[in-house]
Structure 1
């Protein structure tokens, strides 16, 4: 064994000088790095959910509702001797000095949190970062660090919340149960629940989330959960939900799971592109080794010995590439964590061995699937190859190479997607793109072959590509797929966002004022007009819950889509008017006429809930039931930034019910003090600065785009590696052509022109296909999902061609220089 190992090491040192083996190692390492980087990040997030689920809830069990928790739930918790705490979360305006800002206000009871701890820095006594299991003292608040910076505030300053003033006593550094709701984009202000009533902030129409936190022994929690489910079902308590350890932070968990799957599929795309380089490098390495294997068989080497040697090579390459790829993947994961910032959980646990094991198995998986068939074919090499030159390739069946490669791709997609529907979608989408690119590339090359030209360099390049059409088609397809992925990110990050912002009129409303009471409308109008703002239009807002469709009771269990479930579980904002609101367009039926029961429904929400014209809807509003048919469907212009409603009824149906009012208006940048003045005069109001929200959303998109761009850089690197491998796979033929050309006196300029034309054909074709199809994909996404018009097709095409040409020229520059510098005899020696 020692002698065999020593012989293997000596042979390996010699083989590592082979550029083909180095390319094979780089391709596998790149694939492992892309997949392991996502695997490291996903593993840390999943273990954070598994090990810190109680901290993510701040309890063992949580009851959440959009109304105050029924007293029976609290009494039952006391009877079962459970620890309890309560929180109320809602948006509100916070004021410090002359600065006002929308905040996510959280009022907590003294026992909060029941599990885990808050981290608060800079308390009134000057203590450093401290884990705390308590609420803020009465009369004080803890705030996010972002709140201090945006409001130019400091510890000890007074913060006005409604009718009560508080002291800023600490900076809230960590709050694991915060979740990922929209209002959590606003900075947090935490106060004592005992102080909430004094602020007078909660009133009719207020959007607040009430939570009852419970902790105790597992058997106690299980018994209470069983009772709570029965109570919700028997009493038909709508809007109340239970969150336990198995569904801790459902919104955050689902968001991160989707991001994980998307990132995993991107990584798989990189692995698939790199797998082409693996197959090409392995094939060329096998061809180079065929003569050596034939010589070894002449000296008595058996097929078993050669098979053992190749298996050892694959195992060694797998181990080395797994180690290098895992190390690179870990570094990339650190960068991803930094880029995503507060979009993921803070204080993620350390890495585990699972991603390293996964990377090792992946490396062997890729090698066996893509490099195994050509390397194993060396076993069948015959000694006659040394004297029969027509045996210029190894006996490897293309059929089995294709079967193994496709099987490996399918397995990679299924493992990464973790969902058979998503896996099928990804597989068919990727396969469809490959088929289209293959067909287009084949048609383009055939069309070029029919061109008659008197220029020798172009004619020779076309003839050479026609003889190697399979490799040229493969080069175009691999580069096109990678470029399409990159262009999609660039278009989504820049063009679609710019187009969306460009559709918003410059004087579109940038402030929304909610919770306006009927008696306040006149005074608010006077304040706004006095500040130089146009007279606002107020729209009534009535909160109601959908309880029946066509006289059949509905619940979230009746729908499959998560968005539909959430719509049914929450309360709708209903409104009434006789006039069709600006920016609304009737797409079916007739607009409201008269006082008879009727509903005008927005088309998007009708599609989500599977509603159609004529359906009878029943809403419950303040204990009363209102039933009306859908008589019209409306398309809304969301880019107008005006007040819009999903459901509108005649005034006679809703004007006598509890309601608040909402309005929107445009406020110039030099009127920033107006927010402060309004919040001082009307503490119950909430003024939402939409421009700030848009900037926050854009910041989120930029972070996600940066993270995706980092992974797509792997894809581009894989595509360049494919080009290098493909060129190396045809370099023997190129050397033979160069030898002939040099022998008949071709100049270096002629050789450069031939190589340049070949590279331009590949780059332009791949770039044009990538630009065209990425533009189509971006248009479809904008038109059907984001509801914006996308017109940057020329930009997508130009970027695709530019990137394609640059990638090809960079990949082929070194090889072209080497051929031009070589003599005819050196070219013959290299080619044979």
Structure 2
């Protein structure tokens, strides 16, 4: 065994196995810690045992019922508003809290040398450190919120129920709920979220939850939702799930690439061990003895790879946690034993599924092997490698993907790619064999490839799978980041002004023009709730997708106009004409709610019902940063209803005082600084990119292993051919030309197939799993061919040099 463990093929098998375990265990460690953090800290994430959130004041009956059941009660109200200190203003996420907040967990607020663990006292506010720095303020300064001035009394170190920092619209300002009416900040069109927090014994909470659900259903209330331990922080959970899904994708692809290297290395190792097993049989060794010997080898490899891979996976997980930063919870629990168990099981799955058949074939080796260099069992084992390997891959993908869509897509992509690559490679080699040329190197290389087409197909398929995985990760990572970032023009609007009242439009327009801003366009905005489709009442429970549920549960921003807004394009139907009831709806939201042309939609606006058919579908240019609306109707339908106005404009860096001047002149306005939000998003993307890049290095390493194993798989055949050519006087130049042609054929064919397959698979994954658009097919094909040629020539260089410098007799010895 000591001698076997020193063999090069077994070393490659061990490295490939360790890489797979490291990639998957690192993601598994991180996912396990995040999942247990949600389970253990969900009450703190809610600051309660259960909460009720709404876009309207919580009904008084909810509070009376909670008090009657002996539950603890707290309330919060959250909305964006401008905060001013001296001459500086900034958009804040204002949170008004009752004195009993929070019910679970504790706030961490620093005020001088005093730490508070509940809401701020009346007349004072607490700020995020970022807010304090942005306004160049310090403790003891005065802050203006609406019509009231407050004392800055504390700095928020940790707000337990806030979630991830980038989820919030702006830095936090926290105040007492008793002070909120005196500010005059909440008015028509304000984006306000009301929350009722409750805590008590589990039986009390469960009983109250049932009562709330019954009350909501019986009264037909909309816009209220119950948040519990199971659905705490849905936005945060959704974002983390997407990040985890992409990290899992890279880990799965790395494992599949490494599995190819394991299968190739195991087959090469089995061929090398065939003579030894034949000798053992000559001395009376039984099949059971040889099987036990190989099982001991597998056991040693599995234990070592699982142990080393788990340790490396833990270290990589620490790096991922650091790179993701505030995308995850600040206080994650320690690691558990489950990722280690999972890594060990994964190592055995890979070994048994991909290395088991070639090694088991050694049991059937015949002593005649010492005379006739035949090993039919190895050739037959290739079929079992394909069958058992594909089955093992399907199981591993399902376990590692953590998402049925991702598992189905990955399994379909890899299974289909193996079949497609094998078939296409065989056909291409047959076509190449018919080429007539006088060039000896080209003719000999093509003849050798065609004569032993099985080996060539194996190399092309293995290399194609590795390149496909590399290209998919590279292209999707690039496309994902570019899709999120968008192509925003330099002079695109970077400010949105909302809550503008009709009588303020002319004065605000004049103020902006006087400040050097181009004349802005104002758009009416009416809050309405979708209550029926085709005369049938709807509720969130009628939809399956979470996004559709949220859309139906909240209020829409409706608008009216006679002109098609800039950046809008009609994709179906005709634009609004006349005063008859009609609706123009955005294509994305129509797809989410499964709406089509002619459907009758009913909205409830300020107690009135508005019904109209869908007469057109619109595609919006979100990258323009203009004001856009999902639903637009004719002025005759909406102009008489309660409304506010919204506009967007570009504010240059030397106009920073404009925000302050506008908020001072019009306290009801909310000016949204989009440039700050985009910088926050960019920071998130940079962190995700760094995390993806770290795991991407594992995929590259696995692909290099596949290349080395694929070249080594036909090393014996190459040495025999070299010995023959040297015996008849072939020069080093001729041998080098033959090697280059052979490797170029493999690289070009594998790269072409991988480019096509990666483009198709990335398109399907982006469209149906990752929710991004992918159209880089030409780039995928070009990169596949370039990578294939470069990789093959680089991987084959070492073998080529050995063949060129060795004598004929040395080549014959190397081939045995």
Which bracket does the TM-score occupy, shorter chain normalised? over 0.9
Moved more, 14-23 or 414-423: 414-423
Assess if the C-alpha contact under 8 Å between 1:458 and 1:754 holds in 2: yes
1:819: Cα distance to partner?
2.6
1:301: Cα distance to partner?
1.5
Quote the Cα distance in structure 2 between the aligned partners of 1:548 and 1:109: 36
Quote the Cα distance in structure 2 between the aligned partners of 1:577 and 1:798: 47
Match of 1:35 in 2: 24
* 3-state SS in 2 of match to 1:247: coil
1:827: Cα distance to partner?
1.4
Whether 1:15 and 2:4 are equivalent positions in the alignment is: yes
Match of 1:47 in 2: 36
Match of 1:328 in 2: 312
Whether 1:475 and 2:459 are equivalent positions in the alignment is: yes
Match of 1:550 in 2: 534
* 3-state SS in 1 of match to 2:161: helix
* Residue-by-residue CA offset, 1:175-196 (whole Å, 9 max, x unaligned): 3322359751533232222232
CA distance 1:371–1:193, shift in 2 (3 Å): same
* 3-state SS in 2 of match to 1:601: strand
* 3-state SS in 1 of match to 2:111: coil
1:776: Cα distance to partner?
5.6
* Residue-by-residue CA offset, 1:212-262 (whole Å, 9 max, x unaligned): 111111111111111111111111110101111122222322332343334
Match of 1:632 in 2: 616
* Residue-by-residue CA offset, 1:498-529 (whole Å, 9 max, x unaligned): 58878544433222111111222122111101
1:48: Cα distance to partner?
0.6
Quote the Cα distance in structure 1 between the aligned partners of 2:716 and 2:84: 75
Moved more, 296-305 or 92-101: 92-101
Match of 2:111 in 1: 124
Whether 1:601 and 2:575 are equivalent positions in the alignment is: no
Assess if the C-alpha contact under 8 Å between 2:25 and 2:314 holds in 1: yes
Match of 2:192 in 1: 208
CA distance 1:667–1:777, shift in 2 (3 Å): farther
* 3-state SS in 1 of match to 2:230: helix
Quote the Cα distance in structure 2 between the aligned partners of 1:157 and 1:637: 43
Whether 1:102 and 2:91 are equivalent positions in the alignment is: yes
Match of 1:317 in 2: 301
Whether 1:82 and 2:71 are equivalent positions in the alignment is: yes
**Equivalent of 2:670, from 683, 686, 694?**
686
1:55: Cα distance to partner?
1.1
* Residue-by-residue CA offset, 1:360-386 (whole Å, 9 max, x unaligned): 111111111111111112111222222
Quote the Cα distance in structure 2 between the aligned partners of 1:350 and 1:536: 53
**Equivalent of 1:196, from 150, 171, 180?**
180
Match of 2:339 in 1: 355
1:559: Cα distance to partner?
1.1
Whether 1:619 and 2:603 are equivalent positions in the alignment is: yes
CA distance 1:799–1:97, shift in 2 (3 Å): farther
Match of 2:511 in 1: 527
Moved more, 632-641 or 74-83: 632-641
* 3-state SS in 2 of match to 1:586: strand
Quote the Cα distance in structure 2 between the aligned partners of 1:466 and 1:557: 61
1:60: Cα distance to partner?
0.5
* 3-state SS in 2 of match to 1:245: coil
Assess if the C-alpha contact under 8 Å between 1:544 and 1:619 holds in 2: yes
Match of 2:53 in 1: 64
Whether 1:610 and 2:602 are equivalent positions in the alignment is: no
* 3-state SS in 2 of match to 1:52: helix
* Residue-by-residue CA offset, 1:433-457 (whole Å, 9 max, x unaligned): 3344444444443443333333333
Quote the Cα distance in structure 2 between the aligned partners of 1:785 and 1:292: 49
Q: TM-score, normalised by structure 1?
A: 0.92
Q: TM-score, normalised by structure 2?
A: 0.94
1:572: Cα distance to partner?
0.6
Match of 1:26 in 2: 15
* 3-state SS in 2 of match to 1:805: helix
Quote the Cα distance in structure 1 between the aligned partners of 2:173 and 2:750: 53
Assess if the C-alpha contact under 8 Å between 1:94 and 1:100 holds in 2: yes
**Equivalent of 1:649, from 613, 623, 633?**
633
Q: 5+ unaligned residues in a row in structure 2: which ranges?
A: none
Q: How many residues align structurally?
A: 816
Moved more, 708-717 or 253-262: 253-262
Moved more, 512-521 or 647-656: 647-656
* Residue-by-residue CA offset, 1:764-783 (whole Å, 9 max, x unaligned): 33334444554566678889
1:751: Cα distance to partner?
2.9
* 3-state SS in 1 of match to 2:83: strand
What does residue range 374-385 of structure 1 map to in structure 2 within 5 Å? 374-385=358-369
What does residue range 169-180 of structure 1 map to in structure 2 within 5 Å? 169-179=153-163
Assess if the C-alpha contact under 8 Å between 2:525 and 2:645 holds in 1: yes
Match of 1:449 in 2: 433
Whether 1:111 and 2:100 are equivalent positions in the alignment is: yes
Moved more, 390-399 or 275-284: 390-399
Match of 1:561 in 2: 545
* 3-state SS in 1 of match to 2:104: coil
Assess if the C-alpha contact under 8 Å between 1:96 and 1:158 holds in 2: yes
Moved more, 406-415 or 104-113: 104-113
Assess if the C-alpha contact under 8 Å between 2:364 and 2:377 holds in 1: no
Match of 1:4 in 2: none
Match of 1:242 in 2: 226
1:76: Cα distance to partner?
1.1
Q: 5+ unaligned residues in a row in structure 1: which ranges?
A: 1-11
